[in-house]
Structure formats: C-alpha cells, structure tokens
Structure 1
Amino acid sequence: MATAANVYWDTYLKSKVSSKVRKSIRIDTLKKVLCLPVSHFDDHHSGELLTRMTNDNQAIGKACSDTMLSLIRNPILALSSFIYLLTINWKLAIICALVGPMTLLVGGGFGKVLRHNSQLLQHRVGGLTSVLQEILGSSQIFKPFGLEKKLLQTFTQNSDDVSKFEIRGGKIQASLSAAANAVGLLSFIVTFIVGAYFTASGSMTVGGLIAFIQLMNHLTWPFTGLASSWGELQQALGAADRIFKTMDERTEFTDIPTHKVNHEFTNMKVDGLSFGYTSSRSILNNVSFHVEAGQKIALVGPSGGGKTTIFKILLGLYEPSGGDIQINENNIRDMKLQELRGYFSFVPQENVMYSGTIRENIACGRLDASEEEIVAAAGDANALGFILELPEGFDTHMGEGGIRLSGGQKQRISIARALLRNAPVLLLDEATAALDNESERLVQKALERLMAGRTTIIIAHKLSTVQQADQIIVIQNGRVAEKGRHDELLQSEGLYHTLYKGIYSESHLKKGKPLYETFPL
C-alpha cells in the first residue's frame, strides 16, 4: 500500500507541477503577444507564435517535472551509492566514479546538438502549423478552385521537412543513450577486471566482489540516465529559447492597459506625415490635412497610394517616420497609445469576428455595455432584424471568423460594435466594398446613423459616395495630389476629375442617375 501511495503522489504531483508551469507560461506569453506592435505580426506568421505557445510550452512543462526530478534524483542516488561502495573497496569505487565525468562529457557534447536541432524542428513545426491554418481557413477558396491536391502537396512537403528533423533528433538522442550506456558498460568491464585482480591477489573476497558488482549498478545507472535526461533538458531549453525570444521583443505597453473612450474632440492636424514600412520603401511623403469636429473627410485615390496606412498611423499601429499629428493641439507622440486610440471608432473593410456569440462580438465595442445598449446598437446598425430571425438570436454562435454570417451581416455587426464604442472620430475603410446592392443599401443606412454627429474620415473608391464630404483629399503615390470639395475638384480638372469621370461613366450610371442620388451619404 505504501508503494502504491508513493506512485500515486509521485505521478500526481509531477503532473500538477507540469500543468501549473505550462499554464503560467501560456498566460505570460499571450500577455506579451497582446502587447506586441503590429509590425511584429507583419514579420511573424501566427502559426509560429501558436507553436511557441503549444509545442514549446509542452516541452518546457515536461522538463519541469520528469526531467528536472531525474536531474536531481540521479546525482543524489549516485552519490549515496558511491559512499556505500567506498566502504567495500575504495579503489574500485573511484574507478566506478569515473563514469560520472565521462557521461557528463558525452551528454554535454550531444546536448548542444540536440538543443540546436530542437530549435530548428520547432521552427519547421511553426511553418507546418501556419500552412495548416491557412488551409483550414480557406475552404471557400480551395474547393471552388480545386486546390486540394496542390494544398496537400504543400502540406506534405512541410510535413516531410518536420519529419526529417524529428528523425534527426531521434538519431541524436539514440546516439547519446548508446554512448552513455557504452561508458557504463566500459566502467563495468574495467571494474570487473580490476576486482578480479584484487580477488586473485587476496586483497578482496569473492563475496565482496559480487556485492560490489551488484551495487555498482546503483552508481552507473543514475549517470547513464542522467545523460538521457540532460538531452531532454537541452531540447526543452531550445523550446525555452524560442519563447524567451518572444518575451524579449519590444512591446507597445509594459502591461495590458485599460482603454477608455475620449469624448472631447475639437480638431486634428496632420502635418508633413511621412512613413515607410522599410527604410528603402516610402509609403507616405509629406501628407498634410486638417480636420475639424463634425466634418466628413474623404480619402480617395488609386489603390496602393497610402490611404489605409494613414488610418494605421492614426490608430497608433505604426509610428510615423516624419511629420506630426496633433489632436486637440496635443502631439500624439506625447500620448499614451490607449489615450490616442480612445479617440477613434474603426470599421475596416475586412471585418474581424471572434468565435463566440453575436452579443459578445458587438460588446467588443464596449465591454461594460448593458443588454439594452447592445440591442440598441444592433438596431441602429440595421442588424436587429436578421439577428432576431436566428434561432438563438443574440446567443447565436458565429463560428470561426463569423463564417455563419454573410458579408453584409458581418459588416453590420462591425458597425454595431463601432456604435457601441461611441468614440468622437469614426474611421471607415471601404465599409461597403464587396457587398451586393441590397447589403450595401442596409449598410449605408447604418453608416448614416453611425456618422451622425461624429467626425468621420472615409476611405472610398466609390467616389459617388463621398460627394457630400466637407473635404476630399486625393492621395496618389503617398502624396496629397489635391484636396477640396467635390465641385471644386471637378472644376480643377485634376486627378479627381479623371477618376470621377472614368468611374462614373463605367459603372455608376443607374437609370440616368449617379449612385449617390439613390443611396445618399
């Protein structure tokens, strides 16, 4: 019974320690990841971060239970055995003790190789996870295009790469174990030969030699086991290196802050704004404009001109390389990020929906919102009708990325989220792009309610939707090509005139009327 109880508590306590270590590392890692700037996610695929929080985390947890206990228990067992063997024959005991340094040398040599291989393996696993994420999230593309075979080939190639490093790691681990056992066997043979000599010369009895040989296993076995545990520790350290690399990254915040909406807004001045994602590639060059409270400002121009980049800088996702932005006469460089972001509500072109209910996704706009405020926001966003038609209403689970909803429905959920946030400045990035006419009409009405009484900056390719804007700023190749009201820009016959006439003549005729007369801003 005592043995059974010992096995139970040994297994349970090791499992508990490992679990708590993994949980702590997972939470600390995610906390760090949530504080990383957007630029970090530009350079690192989410699959890589996912691997660090799963596979690497698992390896560290295992090392903190079984491996660490072995590294503590085995030396103690070996030392105790050595002391006991000294009482039988100190000369043979010293010969046996030589197995320790030899085993540690073997473990140290193979350990470095194992650690390096572990890092390379986990990097490949991260790539494999990234490919798998992309495949699983693109069923609506790979099925219509018949990409199953191509994606399988890509996944197989990455899987083969992972398998190669797994097999290599197995070879290294096997070589380490074999070398450690060879050292132990060599020690046994040498001890037996020397012991036989002592017995033949009469300095040691046959019974003493037999007792010594039986007991020396308690000295050699812990050292050979120590080599294997050392190899496992090196693999765990390789995983820890990857996690620590993430933990050492520069962050936006030292700790996750509490965000609050700033309701006071009088004006914003963008002066000489410049930015480049790399030092060799400039996206914005000397962009300047002024926004007064209550105005509707439109950013238009050819794709790739830098319009969305302006939004990213306003939201504090990137730091400008030149120029200044002032809100209420305060430079944003002097603001904390949560203060800066508290001025804005944002409706992106491609909406992000979280796995969970419709209620939870709308409440992302303000986490302390009441049920009445959530329902009101859904109503103002023209989303209440379709939500109530769903079997579970606001408790309907949206699926991964909101896959159970249409594009127009997701867009209206996003607008409801922005309404609930109730920030003074609204940023709209092509909020009606890629929608059918009926969805666009519903979304446009929701946007009208959202823009009412708010300062609004709109990115638009449908120029007919921004004709009533207080100021239209035309961005071309990262520069302000021209700015003014719709009529002024048409009269100047510049780039805006060219864009408007070209788009209008091609696609914006509807029964002899421009689209804005049918769906006014």
Structure 2
Amino acid sequence: MNKEGTFFRLLKYMGRYKLLYAGLIITMLVSIVLDLSVAWFLSLITNAAVKLEVDRWPILILMGVGMLICISLIAYFDTYLKQKASLKIRNDIRQDTMEHALRLPQSYYDQHHTGDLLARFTSDNQAVGEASGNVIMALLKNPLLALCAFIYLLSIHWPLALITISIGPLMILAGKTFGEVMRKKGIRLQEAMGRTTSFLQDVLGASILYKIFGLEKKIANQYRQYSSEISEIERSQGKIQGAANSVSQGIANLTFIIAILLAGFFVAKGSLEVGAMLAFIQLMNYLVNPFSALPSLWSGMQQALAGAERIFQVIDFPKEYTELPQESHAKASFSELAVSNVGFSYTDSVDDLVLRDVRFHVYAGQTIAIVGTSGGGKSTLFKLLMGLYIPTTGTIEIDGRDREAIGLREYRNYFSLVPQESVLFTGTIRDNIMDGNPSVHEEQMIAAAKQANAYDFIMKLPDGFETEIGERGSRLSGGQKQRIAIARAILRDAPILLLDEATSALDNESERVVQDALTKLMVGKTTLVIAHRLSTVQNADLILVMENGQLVEKGTHDALLLAGGRYHTLYHSQMEKDEQSLVLEI
C-alpha cells in the first residue's frame, strides 16, 4: 500500500464528519484573520504613538480587549473541534479494525502475534488520530497563513515581500526531503513497538512462570534489547528532526534578518513608516513560522501514515465473513458428519500435507475418540471440523452439505467446544457461562452450572455468579475454569460436542470432578474427543488412531486390542506407566 492510497483512505474517514471539519475550517480562517489583525493593530498603535495621538488610546484599548477575547474564544473552539475530530476518527478506525479482526480467519492469528495486533489498536491508532486533528489542520492552516501574510506584505512593501517569500520553495523542499526519511523511520518505529508490545504481553501474562524459573534477568535483558531498538530508532528520528529543524530555522532566520535589515534601511530612507515596519516584522513571523514548522508537521503526518498503513494491513486481510454475523444459536440436530479423503497443508501445498487421506463417518449420538501420539494431527483435524481452516483436499460434510453450501456461521452452529486450556474472558462467572447462550433465563444458567459441577464452588465465592474471574480466569483454579467452560458448552447445547483433551492439565481430584461433568454434558450429544488417557474412551463407539497426519487404525476398543496394532501398543504402554505411578504413590 503506497502512502497516497493510505492518505486518501484516511480522508474517507474524515469525510464522515464534513460539518465538523467545516467548523474547523471556519475557526482556521477566523484565526488567520485575527493573526493578521494583530499585525494591523500593532501598526495602528505604533503610528499613534509616533504621531502622539493620545486621544486614540481608549478606542485602541477597546480594540485590543476585543481582539484578545476573540483570539481566546477561537483558540478554545479550534482546540475542541480538533480533539473531537481526532477522537471520532480514532474511534471509527478502532471499531472498523475490531470488526475486521473478529472476522479474520484463524490463519491470521496463527501467523501473527496478538501483541502486534494490539499495537495497531493502540499506538498506531493514536498516531492516526493525532494526524486527523492537529497535524492535518496545521498543514492546511500554515501555508494559507503564509499566503495571506505574503499578500498583506505586498500591500505594505512589495520588494520586501518578494524577498521573504523566497523561503517557501526552500522550506517545501526541506520538508519533502526530511519527511520521506521520517516516514521510513516511522514505519520501523511502529513495527518495533509492535514487537515490544507482543513481548510484553507474553511476559506480563506469565508472572508465575518467570518467578519460579528465575527468568527475571533474562527477560530484563531481552526487554532491554527491544527498548534499545526503539530508542535507537527514536534517536535516529531525533537526529533527522534536528537536522530538519536546523535547516528550516537557518533558512528562516537568514530570510528574517535580511528582511529586517532591508526594512530598517527603507525606514531610514523614509519610504516605509515605523508602524508599517513593525507590522511587517509581525507578518514575517506568520510567514516564516509556518514554513519553519513544515518539516516537523510533515514528519508527524508521515509517521501517522505509517501507523495507518499498518492498521489498513489488518483491515485489508481477507476475512471469513462479509459482515459480522448476527448472534448465533446452536443447531438442534443432525444425522451424519462425513470426513472424506481429507488432506490439509498450512501452506496450501499438496506436497506439504500435515493430514493425509483422513476418512470416517460420525452418526448422531455416537462418541468418537481420537487418539495418538503428540503431533499426529488430532488438533489440526479439530480445526478443520470447526471450519477454522478449509481442507486442502477432500471434504467435510454435515448431512451431505459442506461448509460452503451451509454457510460458515451456520456450519459452526453445529458445534460446541471444551478446549484443553479453558479460554475465559475478563468479567464475571455469569458473563462467561452466558456466552454459551445469552438469551437463556437465570434458571437455565444455574441449571447448567449445577450440571457442570460448578454451582457449589461458585456459591462459596463472596460474590457468587457476579465474582470477577480476573484476566483469563486467573483467580480460579484449573478445574474451576474448566467447569465454567463446560457450563458454557451446556448452555450452547449444540448437537456436536468437541472435547480437546479437556482434563489433561488437571490433578486427579479435579479430573474426577470435571470428567463427571463431561459425562453429563455428553448425554444426548454426538461427541468427538481427543483423549490422552485411553482408559477414558474404552466405551467409545469408534476410536480413531492418528499418527503422522494419517488415520492408521479405527474401530472399537476391543476390536483394536485384538488387532494388536498401534492402539494395542499405545494402550498397554499407558497402562504400564499408570501402574508404575500407582506403585510410586504407595
């Protein structure tokens, strides 16, 4: 995306608030008139003083007071409108970014760190908002103020005016030269801040880990590197900014000194009044200062465009849904789930498949267990079943229709999930359970908590269902979080239940309670479960054994043991480990 395209996209956001920017243009024009009036007023006072016109002083004082009041009012309204414009643009872009982020495919989140995405919501958004208010209005006002000051200077003394306007092309050239360099530095800075935000998000969410493993010094050193990278870029920006300011101030001061010397010369010759000279000096400020500020403003705009470019990269990423789907409700039932010749590659290349020729059928009411060693493709298969990825080869169909025919949102409404690591949102227990189905009544929510074996521990908490669970449920134990996740799945009441090693991270007592809750949840449901303990899936209607992305065996527990294949090896190996653990405990 080039910077021109980025800028015009920003203009479209600004175009939503035409009246607001019309108000800003009015305050800008009035401000310019008042600025020029100061030069005119200075000329009146000086000439009245030189000519000893004391009787004009009362009216001059009233004029001065009136100008001060007007300048103050315009400054207030101008600042207020700029802030309002900045806030509205930032809010619109934030909302558009969030709506798009919610529609991004899983592949985006697998390829990008959420901390980098967070930086685009925060620091990049802040830079864009600043540019949409203060910076862009200053870029409009300064050249216009300089032009009006030049016209006024022409009316006072045109030779001097021509000399002073020579600053313009030089300042524009300096602004363009340094601005392009600042834009590249701005992109690097925003990217470095994104990486640092990602690192901080990892660290600040893992305080227990770094405390126990003694990683404080290592993390401090890593953060020092990230921070040093940002500092180095900012230092480089400072050098460029300093050079830009030095060049612009040098040009401006040289022009100013030449103009003042010439103005003094013309006053001495009698071709220019003293009041006109003071007005000329004031107007010189309005001519020189806008051009002097141009490199800084230009670099600020370039940095904002760098931030906008990063934001639009998110917004332009292909999305799953055209529009945000309406609140979803689980499907009531289905008859058959068919996985036919499914192969999958994260790179969409048939030469790099992580799943190969996976095929099986699931019928309503069945329990299907998926077992195998780590890296066999079990979790990838679940991602395909949930519609998070599209199979590279083969199809997944529900009642004879694939997800394209059904529609992605409707397809996902057939499923409910209890993941290996409970995903809970900051908020209350009630909020997280009700995420399963926000439209249910209080009695149904309580019934779901009871069925999930969560009600008793919830009621022992000081605030019951209104208890704040902390970030990702940090105030709850692993078993408590998992039972809340089960209660959420109970409320969803989808016909196909996916259990992704839902008890693998729990202690024995918590596992027993959670397993009991899962058993209740599975009643009347079609369940596919990734199992790490084979003893829990002996009653499954069908067991799928996966290894290296392939379905190497399938059948019932008894049939697979009799076959003496891979499942037989896995089962007896796990039984031996369990017996050894039991002996050690005794």
- TM-score with structure 1 setting the length: 0.94
Q: Does 1:103 align with 2:178?
A: no
Greater shift in the superposed pair: 443-452 or 202-211: 202-211
Cα distance between partner residues in 2 of 1:506 and 1:225: 74
Match of 1:230 among 293, 298, 302: 298
Match of 2:336 among 262, 267, 270: 267
Q: Match for residue 341 of structure 1?
A: 412
Shift of 1:190: 4.2
Shift of 1:191: 3.6
Q: Match for residue 317 of structure 2?
A: 249
Q: Match for residue 565 of structure 2?
A: 494
Q: Match for residue 29 of structure 2?
A: none
CA contact (8 A) 2:344 2:393 kept: yes
Q: Match for residue 46 of structure 2?
A: none
Deviation sequence 1:63-88 (CA, Å, 0-9, x none): 12211221122122111111111122
CA contact (8 A) 2:329 2:492 kept: no
Q: Match for residue 514 of structure 2?
A: 443
Q: How does 1:103-142 map to 2 (within 5 A)?
A: 103-142=171-210
Q: Match for residue 65 of structure 1?
A: 133
Q: Match for residue 101 of structure 2?
A: 33
Shift of 1:217: 2.3
Shift of 1:431: 1.0
Residue 574 of structure 2 aligns to which amino acid in structure 1? I
Residue 330 of structure 2 aligns to which amino acid in structure 1? V
CA contact (8 A) 2:167 2:252 kept: yes
Q: Does 1:371 align with 2:436?
A: no
Match of 2:497 among 403, 422, 426: 426
Q: Match for residue 507 of structure 1?
A: 578
**Alignment identity in percent?**
49
Sort the Cα spacing of 1:459 and 1:210 in 2 relative to 1 into closer, same or farther, 3 A. closer
Q: Match for residue 283 of structure 1?
A: 354
Q: Match for residue 66 of structure 2?
A: none
Cα distance between partner residues in 1 of 2:380 and 2:88: 42
Sort the Cα spacing of 1:214 and 1:136 in 2 relative to 1 into closer, same or farther, 3 A. closer
Cα distance between partner residues in 2 of 1:410 and 1:115: 46
Q: Does 1:312 align with 2:380?
A: no
Q: Does 1:145 align with 2:213?
A: yes
Q: Match for residue 553 of structure 2?
A: 482
Q: Match for residue 49 of structure 1?
A: 117
CA contact (8 A) 1:430 1:461 kept: yes
Deviation sequence 1:176-200 (CA, Å, 0-9, x none): 2221112212322444566677778
Residue 371 of structure 2 aligns to which amino acid in structure 1? V
Cα distance between partner residues in 2 of 1:420 and 1:329: 27
| Greater helix content | 2
Cα distance between partner residues in 2 of 1:393 and 1:54: 34
Shift of 1:281: 3.4
Q: Match for residue 161 of structure 2?
A: 93
CA contact (8 A) 2:503 2:511 kept: yes
Q: Match for residue 164 of structure 1?
A: 232
Cα distance between partner residues in 1 of 2:368 and 2:135: 62
Cα distance between partner residues in 1 of 2:533 and 2:163: 86
Q: Secondary structure at the match of 1:87?
A: helix
Q: Secondary structure at the match of 1:365?
A: coil
Cα distance between partner residues in 1 of 2:331 and 2:397: 15
Q: Match for residue 465 of structure 2?
A: 394
Q: Match for residue 28 of structure 2?
A: none
Sort the Cα spacing of 1:377 and 1:210 in 2 relative to 1 into closer, same or farther, 3 A. closer
Greater shift in the superposed pair: 422-431 or 225-234: 225-234
Shift of 1:421: 0.1
CA contact (8 A) 2:544 2:555 kept: yes
Residue 97 of structure 2 aligns to which amino acid in structure 1? T
Q: Does 1:217 align with 2:285?
A: yes
CA contact (8 A) 2:369 2:537 kept: yes
Cα distance between partner residues in 1 of 2:86 and 2:472: 32
Cα distance between partner residues in 2 of 1:471 and 1:150: 48
Q: How does 1:347-366 map to 2 (within 5 A)?
A: 347-366=418-437
Cα distance between partner residues in 2 of 1:178 and 1:51: 32
Cα distance between partner residues in 2 of 1:217 and 1:505: 88
Greater shift in the superposed pair: 364-373 or 418-427: 364-373
Structure 2's unaligned 5+ residue stretches are 1-68
Sort the Cα spacing of 1:192 and 1:4 in 2 relative to 1 into closer, same or farther, 3 A. closer
Cα distance between partner residues in 2 of 1:333 and 1:501: 42
Cα distance between partner residues in 2 of 1:240 and 1:510: 57
Q: How does 1:315-334 map to 2 (within 5 A)?
A: 315-334=386-405
Sort the Cα spacing of 1:210 and 1:139 in 2 relative to 1 into closer, same or farther, 3 A. closer
- TM-score with structure 2 setting the length: 0.84
CA contact (8 A) 2:263 2:272 kept: no
Deviation sequence 1:248-280 (CA, Å, 0-9, x none): 111111221022311120001101111122336
Q: Match for residue 517 of structure 1?
A: none
Match of 1:18 among 86, 107, 110: 86
Residue 20 of structure 1 aligns to which amino acid in structure 2? K
Q: Match for residue 519 of structure 1?
A: none
Q: Match for residue 536 of structure 2?
A: 465
Q: Does 1:403 align with 2:474?
A: yes
Structure 1's unaligned 5+ residue stretches are 513-521
Q: Secondary structure at the match of 2:361?
A: strand
Greater shift in the superposed pair: 95-104 or 411-420: 95-104
Cα distance between partner residues in 1 of 2:102 and 2:282: 57
Sort the Cα spacing of 1:80 and 1:2 in 2 relative to 1 into closer, same or farther, 3 A. closer
Shift of 1:39: 0.8
Q: Match for residue 527 of structure 2?
A: 456
CA contact (8 A) 1:260 1:338 kept: no
Sort the Cα spacing of 1:510 and 1:66 in 2 relative to 1 into closer, same or farther, 3 A. closer
Match of 1:78 among 146, 150, 157: 146
CA contact (8 A) 2:178 2:295 kept: no
Shift of 1:474: 0.6
Shift of 1:497: 0.6
Match of 1:180 among 235, 245, 248: 248
Shift of 1:427: 0.5
Shift of 1:164: 1.0
- Point out 4+ residue stretches in structure 1 off by more than 6 angstroms: 196-200, 509-512
Shift of 1:214: 4.4
CA contact (8 A) 1:260 1:342 kept: yes
